Amino acid sequence: MAHILVVDDEINIRKVVREYAEFEGFEVTEAENGMEAVNLCHDNDYDLIIMDVMMPRLDGYSACKEIHKSKNIPVIMLSARGEEYDKLFGFEIGVDDYVVKPFSPKELMARVKVVLKRNTRQDEQVQPDKYEFEGLAVDIAGREVYVNGEKASMTPKEYDLLFYLVKNKNIALSRDKLLEEVWGYDFFGDDRTVDTHIKMLRNSLGEYRKFIVTLRGMGYKFEAANQ
């Protein structure tokens, strides 16, 4: 049974999410602000967090960043603001999905299942492989990337995207395929999600951004010689 932490300062929203989540068979813990969520995550393990953005004491973005310093828990962010900037900022700090209020509880539960399934699948896959491409070193098992000997600092989704590209190096991958395999769904995301994360990943790789080749009208390919 997956254990979900629901964080929102509005008790009615927590009540609705709890009702639907428990109906789906999930265990639910509630927190009414970001600071409480950080403290709960320090002392407990959760399979997923549903987090509101605007909360007293500590906002959702700050709480997410603080939690990810010690634990890699997937996060679905809730917000009354649906601007692209807000979504992109959420993705940059490692948010797995973004739901705009008012939302459909049924759709939220569908997204929860997708995120949980993707993370379970990744946990079950043991990837001991290490790759080196010139000055770029990729350690999949250790979830570490080094650029010219310096450890790169990337979001969880950047790691996931790079690892999938590397494991499928020299293979053309469509945006839909990347959405399905890296994000775990093929109907909630769109091309901009992939393109935004590719841009972020290229920035993190510096000069080795050259290995990620854009395939016009299709998608991307990690193009490098076997070493």
For residues 140 and 111, state if they share a domain: no
Tokens matching residue 146 = 């080094």
pLDDT band, very low/low/confident/very high, at 179 (cuts 50, 70, 90): confident
pLDDT computed for residue 188 by the predictor = 57
- In this predicted model, what pLDDT tens digit does every residue of 22-81 receive, in sequence order? 999 999 999 999 999 999 999 999 999 999 999 988 999 999 999 988 888 999 999 887
Q: How many domains does the chain have?
A: 2
For residues 101 and 161, state if they share a domain: no
Tokens matching residue 187 = 């109907």
Look at 11 and 225; give whichever has higher pLDDT. 11
Give domain status of residue 180, yes or no: yes
Give domain status of residue 227, yes or no: no
CB under 8 Å to 94, separation ≥6 — which residues?
A: 64, 65, 68, 75, 155, 156, 157
pLDDT band, very low/low/confident/very high, at 226 (cuts 50, 70, 90): low
Q: Tell me how far the alpha carbon of residue 25 is from its chain's centroid.
A: 23
For residues 177 and 209, state if they share a domain: yes
Instruction: Answer yes or no: is pLDDT of 187 > 50.
Output: no
Judge if pTM exceeds 0.85. no
The mean pLDDT value for 6-21 works out to: 95
pLDDT computed for residue 186 by the predictor = 46
For residues 117 and 22, state if they share a domain: yes
Three-state secondary structure of the chain: CCEEEEECCCHHHHHHHHHHHHHCCCEEEEECCHHHHHHHHHHCCCCEEEEECCCCCCCHHHHHHHHCCCCCCCEEEEECCCCHHHHHHHHHCCCCEEEECCCCHHHHHHHHHHHHHHHHHHHHCCCCCEEEECCEEEECCCCEEEECCEECCCCHHHHHHHHHHHHCCCCCEEHHHHHHHHHCCCCCCCHHHHHHHHHHHHHHHHHHHHHEEEECCCEEEECCCCC
* CATH code (residue 200): 1.10.10.10
For residues 113 and 136, state if they share a domain: no
pLDDT computed for residue 90 by the predictor = 78
Query: What range defines the domain where residue 205 resides?
Result: 130-222
Percentage of residues in the chain with pLDDT exceeding 90?
Answer: 58
Beta strands across the sheet bearing 144-147 = 130-133, 136-139, 144-147, 150-151
For residues 7 and 116, state if they share a domain: yes
Residue ending a domain, choose from 90, 121, 152: 121
For residues 26 and 114, state if they share a domain: yes
Give domain status of residue 187, yes or no: yes
Look at 89 and 219; give whichever has higher pLDDT. 219
For residues 10 and 99, state if they share a domain: yes
Mean pLDDT of the chain: 87
For residues 28 and 113, state if they share a domain: yes
For residues 104 and 68, state if they share a domain: yes
pLDDT computed for residue 41 by the predictor = 94
- In this predicted model, what pLDDT tens digit does every residue of 109-156 receive, in sequence order? 999 998 888 776 555 554 447 889 999 999 988 889 999 999 999 998
